[in-house]
Structure formats: structure tokens, C-alpha cells
Amino acid sequence: MSCWQTIQDYGLRSIGIGERLLPKGDFTLCEHFTLIGSGMIWNVYFGVLAMTTGFFLATALALGKASPNRWLRKPAEWFIFVFRGSPLFIQFFFAYFFFLSLKKSYPMFDAFTSAWLGALIVLFLNTAAYSGEIFYGALRSIPKGDIEAADAYGLSGWARFRRIVWPTMLRLAWPAYTNEAIFLFHATTLVFFSAFPAWQQRGDALYYASYFADKTFNPFVPYPILAFYFILLTLLIVWGFGLVNTRLNRHLPAETRGKMRFRLNLAR
């Protein structure tokens, strides 16, 4: 079977298009690459959606945590504490069993027990908490002069937030936020290893990689392929976020703008 044929059969296997049965034995390198790559669709799906939706909640959480009103501050602080203080793995398990018991009483929660929605919600809340903390830190380090200048120009309320506070916050937070994005994409590999079932063996990249490793008892082929895909994805994220970073800093003189320095903090 040619490699092109394999790609046609398994390229979209993870979303249920193509051959139904997974290859059983005598795996070729092409099958490894195709299936693991097909699984990456899920990683990208979870990562992109959780990141974009989480961004808005994160902004709200950061503003809430920085708010002088305790009715806004306390819930935001607790939310961030709960999601940052506990392992994502346990959050997945808890959410899955929580949705499962909800489903028993209300059948409309059926979709929540499948990974595409249930796990996405957990990832969304989780990344919102981490990014919220990053944004909060950035919010607190906005130069005092910027806000005073905004006041002096007669900007207040929404206009001040929209034009001064928010862009500055993003600019300060961006390197750390890039790091968080990378971590989020890495965290998406946990989904199918926590309680969420991979329905009809439609899993993510790590799911297929471990499938191969279990079948061949040889970890030295599938995991490096997975690593290759993820390094590619990481480079893509760094590049994309770098573009945004340039735009956020476009008003600065070229020499102070510099290049975004990626001191990739491995821990978040």
C-alpha cells in the first residue's frame, strides 16, 4: 500500500473520516506519521478553541482580581486559585464524573461527557485561570505615567480601558502569554488519558502514539514522531504570537522594541 493511500485512509481518521479499523500490525513509518498527525487535529482543536474563548474570560478575571470591589475580587481570586492550585489531570477526572452524574438526572448533559465539549470546557476554564493570573500581573505593572497621561487627556472609563490599559496589559503580558499558549497545547494531550473516552478510537496525537507503542512495544518510533509534531506546533505558536507581539509594540522606536525574548519558562 502506497503512502499516499495511507494518508487518504487515515489522514482524517481522528475525526471519523476514512478507514474505520486502525492498522493492526506491521506498522510502516508512513502509518505512524499519518495517524499521529491525524491525531494532532484534536490537539489543535482543543488548543485553539480553549485559547480564544479563554482569552476573554482571562481578561474578565484579571480585571475582577484587580477590582477594588470585594464582590468581584473574591470570586476571581478563588476561581484562579482553584484552577491553578489543582492538577489539570484531576480536574478532567472530576469534570467527567461530574458531567456523568448530571447526565443521569438531566439527559441534555449528554454531550458534556464526550471529550469534544466536556474536555474543552475544562481546558477553557483552566487556561482562563492561568492567563487571568498573567494578565493580572501585567495589569499591576502598567506604568503609572501611562494612566496619568490618559487621565490628563480626559480619557476615562471604557475609553481609557480600551485605548490605554488593555493594550498595555497585553503588551506586558504577551511573552508570558505565549508561554501559556505552548503549555495549553501540551496539556491537550492529557484529554484522552484522563477519564474522557476516545469514542471509536478517535483520539489525539498522544493517543495514537501510545497505541503504536503498546502494539509494537517499541517507544522509540512513535514518541519521537509525536515530539516532531509538537516541536513544529510550538514553533508555529511562537511565530504567530511573535507577529502579534510586533503589532502590539509597533508604536515603540525600533531599537527599544527589540526582539521578543523567549525565556521559555518551562513551568507555568
Partner 1 sequence: MFSFCADPETLGTFRWFSCYLTNGVHMSFYLSFVKVLVLLAVTAPVALSFGFVGAMAARSHFPPLSWLGKGYIAIVRGVPDIAFFLFFVIALDQAFEWTRHQILCPDWTDPIRQGNDFLVCPSAKLPLGSAPEWVHETYGFFLAVITFAIVFGAFAANVLFGGMRAVPHAQLETAAAYGMSRRQTFWRVLVPQMWVYALPGLSNLWMVLIKATPLLFLLGIEDIVYWARELGGTKTSQFTAYPHGDWRMWYFLFLLLFYLGMTRVSEIGLERLMRRLSRGQATAAGELLRKETTA
186 binds partner 1 (CB under 8 A): yes
Q: Give least dist CB 244 to partner 1, A.
A: 20
61 binds partner 1 (CB under 8 A): no
Sole window of 15-23, 105-113, 153-161, 179-187 interacting with partner 1 (rule: CB under 8 A): 179-187
Return the number of other C-beta atoms located less than 10 Å from residue 70's C-beta.
9
The amino acid at 183: F
Half-sphere exposure of 138 (CA within 13 A, CB side): 25
| Choice from 119, 122, 226, 248 touching partner 1 (CB under 8 A) | 226
193 binds partner 1 (CB under 8 A): yes
234 binds partner 1 (CB under 8 A): yes
CA distance 100 to 8: 36
Q: Where does 180-230 show beta strands of DSSP type E?
A: none
85 binds partner 1 (CB under 8 A): yes
Q: What is the CA radius of gyration of the chain?
A: 22
Residue showing cell 481609557: 160
Do 64 and 76 touch, CB atoms closer than 8 A?
Answer: yes
Q: Give least dist CB 146 to partner 1, A.
A: 22
156 binds partner 1 (CB under 8 A): no
231 binds partner 1 (CB under 8 A): yes
- DSSP state letter for 80: H
35 binds partner 1 (CB under 8 A): no
Q: Give least dist CB 222 to partner 1, A.
A: 9
Q: For partner 1, how many residues bind (rule: CB under 8 A)?
A: 47
| Contact set for partner 1, span 65-84 (CB under 8 A) | 81-82, 84
Residues for the chain: how many in total?
268
Sole window of 13-21, 143-151, 178-186, 239-247 interacting with partner 1 (rule: CB under 8 A): 178-186
Sole window of 13-21, 122-130, 218-226, 245-253 interacting with partner 1 (rule: CB under 8 A): 218-226
- The residues, ordered by sequence, that sit 6+ positions from 94 with a Cβ below 8 Å of its Cβ are none
Nearer to partner 1, 45 or 223 (CB): 223
Q: Give least dist CB 254 to partner 1, A.
A: 26
Nearer to partner 1, 60 or 100 (CB): 100
Contacts 24+ apart (CB under 8 A), 135-138: 135/58, 135/59, 135/61, 135/62, 135/169, 135/173, 135/177, 136/61, 136/62, 136/65, 136/66, 136/80, 137/173, 137/176, 138/62, 138/168, 138/169, 138/170, 138/172, 138/173, 138/176
Residues near partner 1 (CB under 8 A): 25, 81-82, 84-91, 93-94, 97-98, 100-101, 182, 185-187, 189-190, 193, 206, 209-210, 213, 215-220, 223, 226-227, 230-231, 234-235, 263-268
